[in-house]
Every structure is written in C-alpha cells, then in structure tokens.
Chain A
Amino acid sequence: MSAEGAFGHEAVADWLRRFAAAVAEHKAELVRLDTAIGDGDHGTNLDRGMRKVVEKLDGMDVTDIGATLKAVGMTLVSSVGGAAGPLYGTLFLQMGTSAGGRDSLDLEGWTAALDAGVQGVKMRGKAEPGDKTMLDALMPAVEALRGAAGEGTALPDALTRSADAAREGMEATIPLEARKGRASYLGPRSVGHQDPGATSSHLLLRAAAEAAGAA
C-alpha cells in the first residue's frame, strides 16, 4: 500500500498470487465442501485455473490493473470449466473493465471495481442473495467496503472489514437451501453445508486484505 492509501498494481499482482496460494492450501477443503452438495470439483478446478494465472503473471507487465485483471478473467474462463470458470472469469473481466488503464486503485476505485465484478457474477449466474452461492460472500463484502468508505476508513482496514463480511456471509450459507447450481437439486438436503463458492470467494477477499496490509 502506498502512502495515499491505494492498492497499487504490485499489490494487485500480490493479491492474485495470495489467492492462488490460498486456493492451493484449501483445495481439499473446497473439494470436501463441493462433494457434500455438488460434484466435488470446485477445489481442483479453481486450483488448476489459478496456477495458470500465476504462470501468466510471472511473464507479464502488470502496470495496467485493468489489463491484468482481464487477462486473469480470460485465463480462468479457458481453464477452470464448471460454473466457477465463467463466474470467476466474469468477476475478473468486469473488474478489469472498471479498472481499465489504472496503475493503482484507491478505496473508491477498488469498491467500484469489485462492485462491477459482483454485478457481472449476478447477471451471468442469474442468482440472488440467499440462493447459497458465491454472491452470499461477495455482496456483503461490497456493502462493507461502501460502509468503510463512508466512514473514511483507511484502505487496509476497509479490506479487512470486507473480508470479515465475506466470512460472515460464507458462514451464513450453512443453514440455507441451495437454489442455484448443482446443489439446488438436493433441495433440503443442501441445508447444513457451507457453500463451496462462497468459501472460495471469502478466500479471494481475505487475500485482498492480506495484500493490502502487506503492501
């Protein structure tokens, strides 16, 4: 983080690497959660995609945050498969469009980018809050960012609050009955399990908070 309280392009690249490491570390947990209510491939697929993203980052000029995030989105779209590929792909593509040409994002810019990404996920997946999906972690995170911005919170603290909100949203998926994706076919049998997509989305936002705190 720079003196002005911004998320610089190096911090963005660091965020993506931290997210990849977190997915690798929690791969078995994501597979276990997805096996309970889905088809058990979420951890494996996202790990495959994020490993490709890290390979790409290694040889890339990351100055333009928008270009970086778009490249990440395209990489995920073509390597993850399942529903997570188009959903996370759309998240990064829309974030990239929002952050086009910027080499750093202040809290307002980061919030706008994440909001654009989350709106993209909502449109692509046609899901609503409470459907037991990744949106249940992502949407509270955007709300928390807005609240923090309104109170003039510094960027690292704001990102920590957004990650905490994502964790609460993730945990709140446990009692929900799934209405989207493969878990929805279980009906009431999906109750009592944490949503794997919300879980990986929490990892994404936790990684952002860590990158902002470390920068």
Chain B
Amino acid sequence: MKKLINDPDAVTREALEGMEAAHGDRLRVSYEPAFVVRADAPVQGKVGIVSGGGAGHEPMHGGFVGPGMLDAACPGEVFTSPTPDQMLEATKAVDGGAGVLHIVKNYTGDVLNFEMAADLAKSDGIEVEAVVINDDVAVEDSLYTAGRRGVGATVLAEKICGAAAAQGRSLADVAELCRRVNGSSRSMGMALTACTTPASGEPSFELPDDEMEIGIGIHGEPGRYREKLGPASQVVERMATAVVEDLPYESGDRVLAFVNGMGGTPLIELYIVYRDLQRFLEGRGVAIERNLIGNYITSLEMAGCSITLLKLDDELTALWDEPVNTPALRWGA
C-alpha cells in the first residue's frame, strides 16, 4: 500500500503540525497532550464544546474547530480513541465558566475514555455534560452489540450545537439540542474498497472487484452485508430505504440530506448519489431543505459513501444557517 507519509509512527503528529502551520491564525495546537483548540479559547460565558476521536476521519474533528462549531478537538492515533488526559486538558482550555459539552461518538473506546475524562473534569470543578451520538442504522440489534455507532450525525450535531452555544444558550439547553439532533438523525454507509491504516500497512478487508460492503462503520471494519455492486441508484435506494424507514421519515417531513464521502470517492460520484437520493426522497414526499455534500467524516482512503438524514424544524434550520468559520466548514463568516 502506497501512502504519502514520512513515518508511520509520526502520521498523526505531522498532520497536526500541518494544521497548525495552515490555520495557526485561528487554531492553537497542543501536542502533549494532543488537542486542537480555538485560538481565542476560552470564550467567557459561552458553553465550550469538545469532541474527539481517532484520527483517520479528517476533516473530523480538528477541521471543525472554530467559531460556530467546536471549541476543541482531541485526536487519537489512527482509528484509536484519544485518552482522558487529552480530553481533560481540552476541557479546561475551553471552559469559559458556562460548562463544557462533550460530543462523543458511540464507540466503546471513545465512550470509556470520555467517561473517565468527565469524571476527572468534574473533580476539578468543571460542569460537564456528555451526549453520545449513535445514528448508524446498519447496527440493527443494539441489545447484543455495543449499540449503534456514531457517524454522520456527529458533524451535524457539532455544527448545530456550536451555533446554539455561540448564541449564549446554557449547557443544559445545548446538551438537550444535541440529543434532539441525534434523535432525529439516521445514517447508513457503504464501501467499494477497504482502507489501510499506516500502522498495519494491510487493507482492513479484502473485497472482490464486483462487490461492495453495506452497513460499514468508519474504521475500515467490514459491513453487515456483502453484496454485488449495482448501479448508484440501486445502492442509494438500498441505503436510503433503511435510513428512511428507521426513524421513520414520512411524507411532508423536511430534512437535511448529508451525502458524505469516505475519503476515496470523488465528488462527481457523490453528486450522483445526491441526485439519486433526492429522487428517492421526492418519491416518498420528503423534502430536502438543506444539504451537505463532500468528504467530512472519512475512513482514510476508503472508497464509498454514507447517507445521513436529519429531520428539520425551524429552529434546527436556523441554527444550521448560522455563521460557521472552521477550516472544513465555513459560511456566513
């Protein structure tokens, strides 16, 4: 496997150094322990928002640090949860006296490490609330698994909660809003290829040329089903049906449709997916009121995509439209 790197053991650090070099005017980077934080943190009187997770999902989460979104992000090693000391220092760095929200994707490692960090922050006198994102409908049986994974809804929750925090809302309000975004979102992903972590050097699974994995996560893990690859419209129908019927999204609903690339799929294909998704939803009477299309929560160089729907109301739409100014998501600023 070819990769454009210098040293497999230095990948995450060198990427952070690159971020600091590129965006040092508005972000600060701490290396020991590792976290990315708004240059003007802590913002006094504002709820701080911290997220984090393994590296390999860029631009998530570091690319979403900035006014109107995250106050800090803690990157772990590739596909490995960050550690409580990182989360604790990031939490302290963004605490402006109004408390700190942890947005946590539902993976065992992330949840356990954020739990330990929240315990430590609370013993330091910082008010912390944690919301676990779990929007992946590919995990059908949450009784006998670690529960649904957090995927695309994470990006939407970070944007919307960031806007609410910027308006000066309380920690309890922002946390409640985060739970509402999570509860109104559903996602499903698929892969055309596996991905290769720099440390292992081997693809995470083998997939014949004419097959796809449906119901993948974002860590190169195989999906729930392996199937013959069909045309995009068929693949979209397969994924969108699972998503729509799960919440369910019904005729008359307004949604934010998020077509996310897994890292190795070009935008031209993502637009085809969006086209087919729009037609599918139109057929069910669901109106796309906002959209987001691009590579935002990736799995290294994996080819594939995920579809996320968020049921909108006037409040969520207004918060989505609020200005945001981060390296990866920017409008109105």
**A100 sits at the interface (CB 8 A):** no
**A61 sits at the interface (CB 8 A):** no
**A83 sits at the interface (CB 8 A):** yes
Q: Give the total number of A-B pairs whose CB atoms are below 8 A apart.
A: 109
Closest to B219 in A: A39
* 0/1 string, B70-97, CB within 8 A of A gives 1: 0000001111111111000000000000
Decide: A35 near B202, CB < 8 A? Known: A82-B109, A180-B108, A185-B146. Answer: yes
Nearest Cβ on chain B to A126's Cβ, whole angstroms: 9
For A180, the chain B residues whose CB sits under 8 A away are: 108, 145-146
Among A40, A83, A125, A187, point to the contact of B200 (Cβ < 8 A). A40
**B62 sits at the interface (CB 8 A):** no
Give the secondary structure class of A's interface. helix
Nearest Cβ on chain A to B120's Cβ, whole angstroms: 10
Count how many chain B residues have C-beta atoms less than 8 Å from C-beta atoms of the other chain: 37
CA distance A177 to B219 in the complex (A): 20
Closest to A85 in B: B83
Contact yes or no, B199 A41, CB < 8 A = yes
Among B33, B81, B204, B222, point to the contact of A189 (Cβ < 8 A). B222
For A85, the chain B residues whose CB sits under 8 A away are: 81, 83, 109, 112-113
**B280 sits at the interface (CB 8 A):** no
> In the complex, which of the residues A31, A81, A186 has the most CB atoms of chain B within 10 Å of its own CB atom?
A81
Given contacts A40-B204, A45-B77, 4 further A-B contacts (CB under 8 A): A41-B199, A81-B54, A181-B108, A187-B145
16 contacts between A and B (CB under 8 A): A39-B204, A40-B197, A40-B204, A41-B79, A45-B80, A81-B82, A82-B76, A82-B81, A85-B109, A86-B115, A87-B112, A179-B146, A180-B145, A182-B217, A185-B145, A189-B222
Using a CB–CB cutoff of 8 Å, the interface residues on chain B facing chain A are 33, 54, 76-85, 107-109, 112-113, 115-116, 138-139, 141, 144-146, 149, 197, 199-200, 202, 204, 217, 219-222, 224
